[in-house]
Each structure stands twice: as structure tokens, then as C-alpha cells.
Amino acid sequence: MTFPFTIVCAYQELFDAVTSTGKNYNVAMLNDILVALFNSFFSLGLIIGPLASSYITLATNFRICTDYEALAMAAFAIIFICAVFIPTQLKKKKKVYTKPIGQITEL
């Protein structure tokens, strides 16, 4: 019924978020920490997801439970797009354009 990977960021997104701060990190240590965080939250989702879904199903019914899960995933997707995806795309587009010296621009 639930799949924990739907709300765990991919490794590259975690790495980009940490390295975009401009601080210098030991890459090997950063890799170990990010992999540990990724695996721990993935495993935590394997435990919490089914437990939460079973209690919601017991309190309501299966259809309402899946509706709640769909709303939660839609809300997470909207937050993720606004907080991570759009700023990343805007940073990629902010490249400084410089004219080569000596190039004729007008005739």
C-alpha cells in the first residue's frame, strides 16, 4: 500500500544541496553521511508507512486511506517542486553572458 521511496530524495539531490552552500567538505565523509541518511530514512519509511496506513485504514476505510496518501504525496510533490526543482533550474539558467572582445555586433 505504501512505498517509502516516494518521499526520500535521491543521492544526487542531497549531494547538490549540501555542496551548493559553498563550503568545502571532505567528499568521502560527505558521501558516507549522505548514504547513511538516505538508507536510514528509507528504512524508517518502510516501518512508519505501513503502520500509519494501517491505523488510517482501521479508523476509516481503504479508499479514504489511499485518498489521504495521494493527497500527502501531491502536497509533498508541490513542496518539492517549489523548494528544490524550481530553484535548481533557475540557478542553471543564471549563466552570465559575455560578448567576446572584438566581435562586431552592429553593421
pLDDT at 104 (0 to 100)? 59
- What does the longest C-alpha to C-alpha distance in the chain come to? 76
What residue segments make up the domains of the chain, in order of their start? 4-78
Cα–Cα distance, 40 to 42 (Å, whole number): 5
pLDDT, mean of each 10-residue run, the chain (107 residues): 56 78 83 85 84 88 88 88 84 65 58
Neighbours of 36 (CB within 10 A): 10
Q: What is the pTM of this model?
A: 0.55
On whether the CB atoms of residues 18 and 35 are closer than 8 A, the answer is no
